Each structure stands twice: as C-alpha cells, then as structure tokens.
Amino acid sequence: GQQVMQIPQYQHVQEGEDFTTYCNSSTTLSNIQWYKQRPGGHPVFLIQLVKSGEVKKQKRLTFQFGEAKKNSSLHITATQTTDVGTYFCAGSGAGTASKLTFGTGTRLQVTL
Amino acid sequence: EAGVAQSPRYKIIEKRQSVAFWCNPISGHATLYWYQQILGQGPKLLIQFQNNGVVDDSQLPKDRFSAERLKGVDSTLKIQPAKLEDSAVYLCASSLVAAGGPRKTQYFGPGTRLLVL
C-alpha cells in the first residue's frame, strides 16, 4: 500500500531560524495536504497542493509539490514559538473517494 | 460554524472490555472519517463514510472494531473486546466532497484518548 515518509522526525531550532520538513510518497499522488498538530491537539488543515511543481505561500510558510508528484516540502522562515507542533503531510491518489494517507510527521520545537 | 464534536474526551478501560466513541460532524458534511493515532505517529484511517455508506474500511480490524453512521449524520465507533495495543487517540473528521473535484479539507474533532490497561 501507499506509504508516506517524512524527514526529519524531530527538529529543534532557535527562534528566528528557518525550518524545512520533507515528505516522500511511495506512489504518485493526486494531491497533497499539510496539517499542523499542536501538542495535545488535533490536526488542523494548512494547505492543499494539486499541480505538479506547485508552490504556495502562507505568510512565513512555503509549500512545494514536486514535479513528479511524489514529494513535497514545507519551509518555515524565521520560526516563532507559535510554530511549535507536529507537521504532517497527507497524500491521496486519484478519485474523490481515495483515502488520505498521513505521513510520519515532523515534530518542531522552537526555543528562545 | 460549530466544529466536529466527539465524546467522550478520555476513556480508561481494562483489556477485553468494550468501548464506544461518538462523533457529530460539521453540519452538511457528507463524508465522515475515523482515524486512529498512536502516540508519535500520524493518523491512520480506519473507516470512511460517504453519507451512511462505507467507502473504505480496509484498515479497520473488523474482528473487534465496528462503526456505523445512522441517517448519514452522527457516527459511533466501537471496540469489542479491547486490547492493550488499541491505546491511542481516536479522531473523527468530516469534509465536503464534491464529485469530480479535488479532495476537500478534512476538519478534525478534538479526539478521544483511549487507554487500555
């Protein structure tokens, strides 16, 4: 079955440093979504990427979908303590009923 | 707009006991999902409903887990009998799914934390 891996598993940065998490799928994806889960909370949708090579920005967050639609990345510029949490990518194959497979997640810790 | 509601928020049971979780999705959302999230892992889809029909239950351990969505609104997930490895957070999510369109955002509930002793 489809597998989605993320690296790194964990990253600790100083506030103001940049952060990047990478997501790799074992199969070609129809689209990819990114979620953020705060400690003790539930996943919250951030963004969806659909097109090959697509790049989207949300303030300090930049999301990219690979040309082959098998990988994606999330880059945070100048991290803040509010960025703390676990970032999950989640991919699905073709078809509106195709299930979403979540990645293994990257836990981000930001300290002053 | 009210979010996805789940209850109970926490549950502690002994192995071999039964437990049930309830979910009320966002009004008008046709698709409902149950996920299992083990500590330190990403959510794993257990079952997906479209209205009151099952779309995907390939990862549901059907010998002990069951789920239903009566009238295409609320849903319950049951475990009988529970095992130690069922300790996890059970997340319910809902979404609008437009036929032929891209997948829609999934909105997650707060989850039910289950501890099996």
Structure tokens at B109: 């509930």
Percent of chain A residues topping a pLDDT of 70: 96
pLDDT of residue A106: 98
- The length of chain A is 112
Asked whether the beta carbons of residue B56 and residue A42 sit closer than 8 angstroms, the reply is no
pLDDT of residue B105: 83
Where exactly are the structural domains of chain A?
4-111
pLDDT of residue B2: 80
Q: For B1-117, list the strands marked E by DSSP.
A: 5-7, 10-13, 19-24, 31-37, 44-50, 53-56, 65-68, 75-79, 88-95, 107-108, 112-116
Query: Measured between CB atoms, which of B42, B97, B107 is closest to A102?
Result: B42
Asked whether the beta carbons of residue A105 and residue B101 sit closer than 8 angstroms, the reply is no
Q: CA of B39, closest CA in chain A: separation in Å?
A: 10
Strands across the sheet containing B19-24: B5-7, B19-24, B75-79, B65-68
Chain B: residue whose CA lies nearest to A88? B42
B13: β partners: B116
Q: What digits encode the pLDDT tens for the residues A30-74?
A: 989 999 999 999 999 999 999 999 999 999 999 999 999 999 999
Q: For residue B70, name the pLDDT band (cuts at 50, 70, 90).
A: confident
Which amino acid would we find at residue A70? Answer: K
Asked whether the beta carbons of residue B105 and residue A90 sit closer than 8 angstroms, the reply is no
Q: CA of B71, closest CA in chain A: separation in Å?
A: 20
Q: Of A29-33, B18-22, B99-103, give the range with the top mean pLDDT.
A: B18-22
- Sorted by sequence, the CB contacts under 8 Å of residue B52 that are 6+ apart come out as B69, B70, B71, B72
Above 50 in pLDDT, residue B100?
A: no
Q: For residue A93, name the pLDDT band (cuts at 50, 70, 90).
A: confident
Above 60 in pLDDT, residue B24?
A: yes
pLDDT of residue A74: 98
Count Cβ–Cβ pairs < 8 Å, chain A vs chain B. Answer: 60
Asked whether the beta carbons of residue B44 and residue A102 sit closer than 8 angstroms, the reply is yes
- Sorted by sequence, the CB contacts under 8 Å of residue B109 that are 6+ apart come out as A42, B3, B4, B5, B6, B23, B91, B92, B93
Query: Measured between CB atoms, which of A43, A50, A105 is closest to B102?
Result: A50
Pick the CATH number of A4-111 from 2.60.40.10, 3.30.420.40, 3.40.630.10, 3.40.50.2000: 2.60.40.10
Q: What digits encode the pLDDT tens for the residues B43-53?
A: 999 999 988 89
d(CA B92, CA B45) in angstroms, rounded, equals 10
pLDDT of residue B99: 45
Chain B: residue whose CA lies nearest to A2? B44
What domains can you pick out in chain B, each with its CATH number? 5-100 (2.60.40.10)
Structure tokens at A9: 């598993």
